[in-house]
Amino acid sequence: MLMDADIGENGYYDIESSDGDLTYCYSLKEILAIWQKFDSHPRDLFCDSAFPAVPIADVVHRIKQHCDEYDLSIAEFEDIVGWSVEGCLDDPAKALNEWNVVA
């Protein structure tokens, strides 16, 4: 079933056998595609309780809003949180392909 999610046999093996492989090596979009094969949502794997999904455009908007509120440059925000966001600020859909669960 997972092999149908375009991750291949090696990808399936890595997810099953390597702690963190799913969270480090696959984009948010790829993880969503994998979990859709189970008629589920990634938040069911990563969260203890159900809550509504937040569209990626809202996440990007909240990052900008946070930076404005605390007078942070995007570079300062990136240093604080430890992940790169600047490339996705003008095109939030890019975040689905570029971000993973960890960063």
Over residues 21-52, the pLDDT tens digits come to 677 778 888 888 887 777 777 777 777 777 77
pTM of the model: 0.69
In a domain, 51, yes or no: no
| Mean pLDDT of all residues in 63-92 | 94
Q: Is residue 103 part of a domain?
A: no
Residues 41 and 7 in one domain: yes
Give residue 11's domain range: 2-46
Same domain, 65 and 91: yes
Spell out the residues 6+ positions from residue 4 whose beta carbon is closer than 8 angstroms to its own: 37
Q: What length does the chain have?
A: 103
62 located within any domain: yes
- Quote the number of domains for the chain: 2
- 41/71 same-domain check: no
63 in the same domain as 37: no
Round to whole Å and give the CA distance between 82 and 79.
5
